[in-house]
Chains A and B, each alone.
Chain A
């Protein structure tokens, strides 16, 4: 009987501990990573809405983000092996362009909702391109693997970046 109680007690203790730690981790993440970026984004959106420059930004972005062909070109540019490692860090560029598109094109219904899916891929063909050596090192890769892997991933993105936009566009039909 005592053993039974002990098992139950320990089990419950472990689960409560895990849940408590999980809660603490998520609140930490929210305060350290999510809320600061929200403040930054809120500031940008506030400026766009307050000054009324939204339509001007929309016009500037329209050639590259207002239609599928433009998005493919955008993904090609952002996926260039010279640019992609520079645009990668913290995904800041993708997050800002995404917010601009969201505020000027989709919140105002200038573009149909279905275009949001290819847009999500068009702003992000450079994902992780700044991090290849570190990412490979985390996978315990040899120096030669890094030497070959960096250009391999960068070149691959030139093909798969635009391809992802096309696939997403094909999959976006009926999204509303």
Chain B
């Protein structure tokens, strides 16, 4: 009986130890980092971010890296999840799904270095990262964080282009026109 009670409470003692480890090891860093970045964002202001959105909306292949790498990065960095997707409003309708795809796919890759982007889903990164930190040490975890951030950029670029192609394939100009007229006349 007593042995069982000890074992039972031991389960939660293990959990409590992990919890304290997370609280002292990660929370202070995340809070200080988020404070610095939040202040920076507030001082820079949203108007400047909006300008980039207008610029990225230009047509042409040359602008695809701007649309699916730079704009999503800036959007998630400055506006964070979920407000980052509002940057889609600068783009023409048929590019909006591709931009959303690229932006939403970049709310996790930078979490190792910029946790302010999506603090509510920190463990998409941290679940694996704290295992890596425990098994292989701090510098390996930071190496992983940097690679995750960089490969994320390549992945969202490909996602943007693939989704743009698929959307273009499914897009029916007549239907799009008819619907927008329909909704315009409804007002």
Contact = CB atoms under 8 A, between A and B. Distances in A.
Nearest to B91: A139
Given A136-B88, A139-B99, A171 B104 contact: no
B120 A33 contact: yes
Contacts of B89: 139-140
Contacts of A121: 151, 155
A171 B64 CA distance: 23
A95 B23 contact: no
Interface residues of A, number: 87
Chain B interface size, as a band, is 35 or more
Contacts of B163: 152-153, 156, 160
Decide if the interface of chain A is mainly helix, strand, loop or mixed. Answer: helix
Contact of B11 (A51, A144, A156): A51
A94 B34 CA distance: 23
Contacts of B26: 38
B65 interface: no
A150 B96 CA distance: 11
B113 interface: no
A116 B88 contact: no
A109 B135 contact: yes
A157 B155 CA distance: 11
A132 B39 CA distance: 30
Contacts, number: 296
Contacts of A145: 93-94, 96-97, 176
A97 B109 CA distance: 16
A153 B85 contact: no
A34 B30 contact: yes
B10 to A, nearest CB: 6
Interface of B: 7, 10-19, 22-23, 26-27, 30-32, 34-39, 42-43, 82-83, 85-89, 91, 93-94, 96-101, 103-105, 107-109, 116, 119-132, 134-136, 140, 143-144, 147-148, 150-151, 154-155, 158-159, 162-163, 166-167, 170-171, 175-176, 179-180, 183
Q: Which 6 A-B pairs have the closest CB atoms?
A: A139-B88, A46-B15, A102-B131, A98-B127, A128-B104, A149-B97
Given A21-B38, A145-B93, 6 more contacts: A26-B31, A29-B120, A39-B19, A98-B125, A113-B140, A128-B101
27 contacts: A22-B37, A26-B32, A33-B120, A35-B27, A39-B19, A42-B18, A50-B12, A90-B120, A95-B123, A98-B125, A101-B127, A103-B131, A116-B132, A120-B144, A127-B108, A127-B124, A135-B85, A139-B86, A140-B88, A141-B97, A142-B176, A144-B93, A144-B179, A153-B101, A164-B151, A164-B159, A175-B140
